[in-house]
Amino acid sequence: MRRLFHYLNPIAHLGERTYSVIFPLLTTTISCILLELYAYKIAQNPDAINMLAIVLFIGYIIYFAFREGIRGGFIATTVTVLYYVYIIYTRRHTGDQLITSIETVLVLTFLYLFMAGIIGWLKQTIDELIEKEADEKKRLQAIIQQLPVGVIITDNKGTIVQANKQVDYILDMKVPLGFAIGKEILVQSVQDGKPNGPPQLPLIQTLASGKPVVGQEFTIHHRNGKKVYVQVSASAIHNREGNIIAAASIISDITSQKEMEERKDDFLNMASHELKTPITSMKLYIDSLMVKIGKYKDNRATAILRNINTQTSRLQKLVNDLLDVSRLQTGKLSFSKEEFRLDELIEETIEILQGSTKKQSILFVKKTPITVSADRFRVYQVLTNLLTNAIKYSGEGTKVNIRLYKQEGSAVVEIQDFGIGIAKDQQKKIFERLYQVTDDKEKTFPGFGMGLYISKEIIKRHKGAIWVESEKEKGSHFYFSLPLGKKYVS
Ligand code: ADP
């Protein structure tokens, strides 16, 4: 309708400035002529037009001041005043017209100009504000479009209101998202090997919970079959009252990083496999050499060989850990469950470790006979990791306490040391792969940050939990829980 009016309007194509002069001028002038024709030809009473003229022209002035700004209001006022002057001079003979003198016209003129000025100024201020907002919106849109990451913005129902071209590019959608504005977000992706429907999408999660979702990784397949890894973060946007009004999501293509990581993992896997066989043979040769040298009672040679043996054992542990990490990454670490007495396994582990350390005494302070259903060797591995850490990170002459008890249908093992402790902000991170706490970027303790990661994964796969409570300089309590066996002893 607006468009039709625009095409039919013969002066619509004039420049904005000319239009804002011509339009009010023509309209008010034509109105004056029509009023006069009506007054003389139809009503046959020119005075009847007085009231109508005042009301109509007030309307015009308000309308044009608002539509065309101060200029429009002033032009409408000028035509109105001229018409009033005309009325005074043509109706002088009668005495009952409303506009009787030039003074009245002057007062009205002043009032009209004031009205036109105020309304015009208001209109100009509103226009400027709208323009500023539109400019800012445009600038923001331009920034979003040019960001090197994909950005999707939805309303509070998950309907896309904005998306940049990077999103189409990264997700390679059949219907480009840029054109899917107004559609609900639907992207088929895979997370942790499972197809990922809308409820798991970070945008939907953040809209449901109101909390930000950070760095979730997904695998998607492009139309040409290419596997692409993406990292998605999303955050709900709240208004002042705290209600969710929108959500924004950032999508980055991390395929090259992931491929690099995969290559590194492949290399580690291959290298540790290749290293495992010669180290195992070395250990066997060292063992038989120890027996042989023992016969000659050569103390120096025995001491050297013992050192070689210790270093080879460390190397063997490192290679085994590397292999375990790589198997965990690829889901190839196998478990064979059996029912066994956890208290007995703890005693055996203490015996082995106490044999190789004289610095600390490991005490089994709370012993509860408990049977668990788990992989015995892997649980032994977890115990060894936690106990060696407790020894490694505490000073000479201190104690390491172990407690075993039942709690809410699980067996809980607690390993307490009185060592260097772990700062609060590090306590979650130490269970991550290859994470090590370093003081002032200086590496103070030997290690690779694999032990706790392997332990966490082993316990997770037994449907148990592993956690730490610690205070810097005071010591740590490491805990892990395992489901009880069917015939646990109480
Ligand atoms: P690492 O081979 O470095 O010991 P872990 O995965 O076993 O690797 O441990 C990760 C990090 O956690 C260590 O670098 C250490 O800083 C910290 N940590 C582990 N156990 C303890 C402990 N009992 N006391 C203090 N810090 C510990």
Residues in a beta bridge with 372: 340, 484
Highest mean pLDDT pick, 3-12, 29-38, 390-399: 390-399
Average pLDDT over residues 142-168: 87
CA distances from 395 to 364, 390, 430, 449 (A): 19, 10, 20, 20
Ligand 1 centre distance from Cα of residue 373 (Å): 27
**Phi, psi for residue 265 in degrees, rounded to 5:** -65, -40
Task: Give the per-residue pLDDT at 18.
Answer: 81
CB of 449 within 6 A of ligand 1: the answer is yes
Q: 452, 445 in Cβ contact below 8 A?
A: no
Instruction: List, in order, residues 6 or more apart from 72 with CB less than 8 Å away.
Output: 20, 21, 23, 24, 64, 65, 120
Contacts of 363 (CB under 8 A, 6+ apart): 399, 400, 401, 402
Token duo for residue 14: 């004039």
Residue 375 and residue 336: Cα distance in Å, rounded?
5
Residue 413 CB neighbours (<10 A): 26
What is the tens place of the pLDDT at every residue in 232-278? 999 999 998 989 999 999 999 999 999 998 888 888 888 888 998 99
Which pLDDT does position 1 carry in this prediction? 56
Which of the residue ranges 91-95, 133-137, 140-144, 272-276 would you say has the lowest mean pLDDT? Answer: 91-95
DSSP states of 362-412? EEEEE----EEEE-HHHHHHHHHHHHHHHHHTS-TT-EEEEEEEEETTEEE
Query: Is pLDDT above 90 for 308?
Result: yes
Q: Which protein residue's CA is at the shortest distance from atom 14 of ligand 1?
A: 436
> Among the atoms of ligand 1, which is closest to the Cα of residue 447?
2
Q: Single out the residue of 261, 264, 269, 258 nearest to residue 331, CA to CA.
A: 269
Task: Pick the residue whose CA is nearest to atom 25 on ligand 1.
Answer: 421
Query: H/E element holding 180?
Result: none
In one-letter notation, the amino acid at residue 325 is V
pLDDT digits (tens, 9 = 90+) for 64-88: 888 888 888 888 888 888 888 888 7
**Mean pLDDT, rounded, for 174-178:** 56
Ligand 1 center to 340 CA (angstroms):
28
Q: What is the pTM of this model?
A: 0.61
- CA-based torsion, 140, 144, 145, 148: positive or negative: positive
* Model pLDDT for residues 325-381, shown as the tens digit of each residue: 888 887 888 889 999 999 999 999 999 999 888 788 899 998 889 999 999 999 999
Find, among 230, 162, 164, 223, the residue nearest to 201 by Cα.
230
Higher pLDDT, 95 or 395: 395
Find out whether the beta carbon of 436 lies less than 6 Å from any atom of ligand 1.
yes
Strand partners, 194: 191
What mean pLDDT is predicted for residues 92-110? 72
Instruction: Check pocket membership of 422 for ligand 1, CB cut-off 6 A.
Output: yes
Whether 369 contacts 411, CB under 8 Å: no
Cβ atoms < 10 Å from Cβ of 249: 24
Q: Assign 468 a pLDDT band (cuts: 50, 70, 90).
A: very high
Q: Taking a C-beta distance cutoff of 8 angstroms, is the pair 247, 210 a contact?
A: no
Residues in CB range of 37: below 8 A, 6 or more apart: none
Coil, strand or helix: which one is 439? strand
Q: Of 161, 25, 153, whose CA–CA distance to 83 is shortest?
A: 25
For residue 216, the surrounding DSSP H or E stretch is strand 213-221
Q: Which of 163-172, 332-341, 433-442 has the lowest mean pLDDT?
A: 433-442
**Residue minimizing CA distance to atom 23 of ligand 1:** 390
CA end-to-end span of the chain: 85
pLDDT digits (tens, 9 = 90+) for 189-219: 666 666 666 556 788 888 888 899 999 888 8
